[in-house]
Structure 1
Amino acid sequence: MKSLEERQLSAKDYFVVSSLLFGLFFGAGNLIFPLHLGQLAGGHWLTAALGFLVTAVVLPLLSVLAISVTHSEGVYDIGKPLGPAFALAFMVLIHATIGPLFGTPRTATIPFSVGVQPLLPNQLTHVGLLIFSALFFGAAYLFSYKQNRIMASVGKVLNPLFLLLLFFVFFLGFVKPLGTASAQVSTTAYQHASFFNGFLQGYNTMDALAGLAFGVTVVTAVKGLGVHKSSRVSLVTAKAGVFATGTIGLIYLGLIVMGATSLAYFKVSADGGVVFDQIVTHYMGAFGHAVLATLLTVTCLTTAIGLVAAFAQDFHKHFSKVSYRTWLGLMCAASFLTANFGLDQIIAWSTPMLMFLYPFAMVLILLSLTSPLFHRDSVVYFFVVLFTAIPALSDMVVAFPAVVSQSTFGKGVARLQQYLPFANMGMDWVVPALVGLALGLTVHFVRVAAAQRSESMEQN
């Protein structure tokens, strides 16, 4: 008999792993943010889409590749070169942001707000959200209860159903388009800086952060197929990541075009959920709303399963006295409570955390990918992260709701931020990070040269 390490995966196995990754990445935000971007960008949809694809497709792919290159099993390993304390703090912040504080509750509030709430009287909104979110996270708990069944639940059942419904909507939208995308008027912000605005919109998907957190779930799933050697697990993960994120990129382009063409019939909406409802109702009437509600619920449930499972797996690994299922229950309960604050509050308070965490995530992903060049030396990580911290903190303060951003402190930070290069584009962390990289590499190579000279003198 062949050992588990020697088992060769079939094309079907790769497809199922890719489908799992796709399902974990693609939630309701991945549907509504590209549509809204299309409406905002109008005729400038292509350059906006290119910016969006960098942070919503390329960066998540790089996060998967970072897991592969470093043979990591999750977000903790990505931050480990800076020491266990930093790695643990980074892991907790990532999981808290994409988990019970913002990301996971959003998976319940979006399908409710778009698909269910319009059907309810205003006085029943809060009760409806309470019941819907309880059922939603109850289902997420049951699907995630057995770790070895997550891939079967998401990759083989929920994900194909979601894709079938989505491509049905695409078929209608492109056979009989609402208008011509290039002919639509752009909003003011997208007439001159469409690429960078699209780039920042990609933050909202949270997929670069999620890619790091999903590492442990994907690695567990790949090992469940009989692959245990770390190099092969990394290779399978990388191949599946390329296929999954490539498919997501194509869907994003389709959604952005649909959003832009919708301007021929509808005004710019408050969010992508509204325009999606308008589009499907235009083509299919009341039945279209039912399709949309089902589509959003299914895709959100797949993402919720991945988020709660990744949270429970990572926390059980590092706080092993509490079982996986207990962490899973705590995660679902906390997400249920946060969801009942409502979608608007969740989005308002999640933006500052994303502005803070994304620069750290981006530099750590890029450092992980290039780490073989400097032997994953912690000093390089230290200087890059140190110099990234100041602009990341200022971005967070400025992005807070008015109670913080418009305070005396918030206005003072905003004035100081203007002195950083590219601050008006939301990219003020880039130059400091490069300065930190230059310093870190200088120290690294000086130390390497000194060690080589010392070794040479000892040999002589």
Structure 2
Amino acid sequence: MQEEIKDLNKKPLSIKQYLIVGSMLFALFFGAGNLIFPIHLGQLAGANWIPAALGFLISGVLLPLLSVLAISITRSKGVYDIAKPLGSGFAIIFLVLVHATLGPLFATPRTASVNFTVGIQSFIPHQYVQIGMFIFTAIFFIATFLLAYKTSSILDSLGKILNPLFLGLLFLSFLLAFIHPMGSASTQAISASYQHASFFNGFLEGYNTMDALAGLAFGVAVVSAVNVLGKINPKSNANATAKAGFISESLVGIIYIILIWIGATSLNLFKISNDNGGTTFNQFMGHYLGATGHALLATLMTLTCITTAVGLASAFAQDFNKHFPKLSYHQWLGLNCIVSFIIANAGLNLIITWSTPVLMFLYPFAITLILLSIFSPLFKRDKAVYMTTIIFTLIPAFFDMLVSLPPMISHLSFIQDLIKIEQNILPFANIKMDWILPAIVGAIIGLIIYKSKNKH
């Protein structure tokens, strides 16, 4: 029983210990994508950047923290355990979808493509951009494979040096942006989709960070770090994780707010970028720090992105080797790096175009599983509660995926007919939040079933 587990360390954790765990959480969540999506959101929202930022903070900051707490409260060891109450079959499918999204299909190739777009591309003549990306991504993923082949403390030490340097460069540019702003955020144009639903669009934009999924996949590392500090009771572990998470996510939140504001002010000088913020971030750094800023950014971003890629690639290989042992860790790792290299060369825009519908389908399940896990002590992780909630979430999540598919598919007549039917039946379908009410109804039905079983 959870109540019978006593902490090895009954003293409160020190500030230094909280900072150590907090920095680990920050490294877990903050990557290249976390720089470009907020600044792009600011450009889209314009004068409505504040409500858009609030929505983004919920899905990009609060949800990732809750995902780590879900791991702690349920004493899970990763994605599979979080979904296990629904049965081993569903848990395997969910694990494959999450790790494929974080791994070779989207997040891992994005570490290279964002890095190239933001840090390297400005140094290469336009006619050589494609070959430049090919060479860069080949070197990038060879380095990723070699570093992840046998992980060592060297990479962790490198991250401890590089992250502060990168943050220092980032906050220097932030300081310059405050002293000499590019324009007034409150007077900038608002794109059509952000004129009436800026909060919800900001919330959906936060899906692109994939941090809630990352929390489910890698949160066990943070929980284990708190265990090492002597907090092994689930309640005290979750409490310590929450406090450390508040430290790290406060920093992430501050960075997001500043980047969203910068994105809005940038409209005074630059057009909305067509690559989801990569070009704008490059323009922003060049505006304040010139060629020196570009060179520093390229160097630091390349090194920090490799550390992120190594973490994603090794986690993918470890979990897939555990559940599909016919291939070794090194074989899964090599497969991941090869596929990531191929997809990275498709370009950042194409990666984001196809990742969006997958995230629109996957995130409602992740959110419901996170919340069910956090409240699971109330119903002892009963399968009925999980099952009814997920079943009621399935159909609207599927329709949200259809709406988000590229126009060449989503504009097909039979898909448009299905979407119209769904939008006439489900509330909030027009803002892609139609899964919320069905999920609540499913949870209520599951709780009624659970209570009735207990009475009998």
Equivalent of 1:343, from 315, 340, 348?
Answer: 348
Q: Does 1:248 align with 2:287?
A: no
Q: Is the 8 A contact 1:217 1:309 kept in 2?
A: no
Equivalent of 2:386, from 381, 390, 394?
Answer: 381
Q: Is the 8 A contact 2:71 2:223 kept in 1?
A: no
In structure 2, do the counterparts of structure 1 residues 323 and 226 end up closer, same or farther at CA, with 3 Å as the change threshold? farther
User: Within 2, Cα distance between the matches of 1:371 and 1:60?
Assistant: 18
Secondary structure of the 1:264 match is coil
1:377-416 equivalence runs, <5 A: 377-416=382-421
Q: Does 1:286 align with 2:286?
A: no
Q: How far did residue 168 of structure 1 move?
A: 1.6
Task: Please report the RMSD computed on the Cα atoms of aligned residues, expressed in angstroms.
Answer: 2.4
Q: Is the 8 A contact 2:23 2:248 kept in 1?
A: yes
Equivalent of 1:333, from 335, 338, 357?
Answer: 338
User: Within 2, Cα distance between the matches of 1:313 and 1:158?
Assistant: 25
Which residue pairs with 1:353 in the alignment?
358
Q: Is the 8 A contact 2:68 2:223 kept in 1?
A: no
User: Within 2, Cα distance between the matches of 1:79 and 1:150?
Assistant: 34
Q: How far did residue 61 of structure 1 move?
A: 0.9
Q: Does 1:30 align with 2:34?
A: yes
Secondary structure of the 2:267 match is helix
1:309-320 equivalence runs, <5 A: 309-320=314-325
In structure 2, do the counterparts of structure 1 residues 297 and 375 end up closer, same or farther at CA, with 3 Å as the change threshold? same
User: Within 2, Cα distance between the matches of 1:336 and 1:417?
Assistant: 38
Which residue pairs with 1:429 in the alignment?
435
Q: Does 1:304 align with 2:309?
A: yes
User: Within 2, Cα distance between the matches of 1:330 and 1:158?
Assistant: 28
**Which amino acid in structure 1 is aligned with residue 79 of structure 2?**
V
TM-score, length of structure 1 as denominator length? 0.90
In structure 2, do the counterparts of structure 1 residues 142 and 174 end up closer, same or farther at CA, with 3 Å as the change threshold? farther
Q: How far did residue 342 of structure 1 move?
A: 1.6
**For this pair of structures, how many residues does the alignment match?**
446
Which residue pairs with 1:457 in the alignment?
none
**Which amino acid in structure 2 is aligned with residue 389 of structure 1?**
L
Q: How far did residue 298 of structure 1 move?
A: 3.9
User: Within 2, Cα distance between the matches of 1:282 and 1:342?
Assistant: 25
Which residue pairs with 2:132 in the alignment?
128
After TM superposition, the structure 1 stretch with the greater mean CA deviation from structure 2, 212-221 or 232-241, is: 232-241
Which residue pairs with 2:90 in the alignment?
86
User: Within 2, Cα distance between the matches of 1:320 and 1:182?
Assistant: 55
Q: Is the 8 A contact 1:216 1:314 kept in 2?
A: no
Secondary structure of the 1:186 match is coil
User: Within 2, Cα distance between the matches of 1:228 and 1:136?
Assistant: 38
- Percentage of matched positions with identical amino acids: 57
C-alpha offsets along residues 282-335 of structure 1, whole Å, 9 cap, x if unaligned? 222222222332353344333323211221232233234544344333322221
User: Within 1, Cα distance between the matches of 2:16 and 2:265?
Assistant: 37
Equivalent of 1:215, from 210, 219, 223?
Answer: 219
TM-score, length of structure 2 as denominator length? 0.91
After TM superposition, the structure 1 stretch with the greater mean CA deviation from structure 2, 79-88 or 338-347, is: 338-347
Secondary structure of the 2:181 match is coil
**Which amino acid in structure 1 is aligned with residue 94 of structure 2?**
F
Q: Does 1:441 align with 2:455?
A: no
C-alpha offsets along residues 256-304 of structure 1, whole Å, 9 cap, x if unaligned? 1111122222232223122212222122222222233235334433332
Q: Is the 8 A contact 2:162 2:300 kept in 1?
A: no
Q: How far did residue 176 of structure 1 move?
A: 1.8
In structure 2, do the counterparts of structure 1 residues 131 and 235 end up closer, same or farther at CA, with 3 Å as the change threshold? farther
Unpaired runs of 5+ residues, structure 2, are 1-6
In structure 2, do the counterparts of structure 1 residues 433 and 47 end up closer, same or farther at CA, with 3 Å as the change threshold? same
Q: Does 1:203 align with 2:204?
A: no
User: Within 2, Cα distance between the matches of 1:160 and 1:114?
Assistant: 19
Secondary structure of the 1:274 match is helix
Q: How far did residue 356 of structure 1 move?
A: 0.4
User: Within 2, Cα distance between the matches of 1:157 and 1:65?
Assistant: 28
After TM superposition, the structure 1 stretch with the greater mean CA deviation from structure 2, 16-25 or 108-117, is: 16-25
**Which amino acid in structure 1 is aligned with residue 367 of structure 2?**
M
**Which amino acid in structure 1 is aligned with residue 293 of structure 2?**
G
User: Within 1, Cα distance between the matches of 2:82 and 2:54?
Assistant: 27
Which residue pairs with 1:77 in the alignment?
81
In structure 2, do the counterparts of structure 1 residues 305 and 11 end up closer, same or farther at CA, with 3 Å as the change threshold? farther
User: Within 2, Cα distance between the matches of 1:98 and 1:220?
Assistant: 21
User: Within 2, Cα distance between the matches of 1:154 and 1:217?
Assistant: 18
**Which amino acid in structure 2 is aligned with residue 435 of structure 1?**
V
Unpaired runs of 5+ residues, structure 1, are 451-460
After TM superposition, the structure 1 stretch with the greater mean CA deviation from structure 2, 421-430 or 110-119, is: 110-119
Secondary structure of the 1:214 match is helix
In structure 2, do the counterparts of structure 1 residues 143 and 24 end up closer, same or farther at CA, with 3 Å as the change threshold? farther
C-alpha offsets along residues 108-141 of structure 1, whole Å, 9 cap, x if unaligned? 0011123222322344333221221122223333
C-alpha offsets along residues 434-458 of structure 1, whole Å, 9 cap, x if unaligned? 11111111111111111xxxxxxxx
User: Within 1, Cα distance between the matches of 2:297 and 2:232?
Assistant: 42
Q: Does 1:137 align with 2:141?
A: yes
Equivalent of 2:47, from 34, 39, 43?
Answer: 43
**Which amino acid in structure 2 is aligned with residue 436 of structure 1?**
G
Equivalent of 1:64, from 63, 68, 75?
Answer: 68
Q: Is the 8 A contact 1:134 1:336 kept in 2?
A: yes
After TM superposition, the structure 1 stretch with the greater mean CA deviation from structure 2, 302-311 or 168-177, is: 302-311
Q: How far did residue 214 of structure 1 move?
A: 1.3
User: Within 2, Cα distance between the matches of 1:86 and 1:297?
Assistant: 37
User: Within 2, Cα distance between the matches of 1:7 and 1:435?
Assistant: 41
After TM superposition, the structure 1 stretch with the greater mean CA deviation from structure 2, 288-297 or 228-237, is: 228-237
User: Within 2, Cα distance between the matches of 1:151 and 1:376?
Assistant: 38
Secondary structure of the 1:397 match is helix
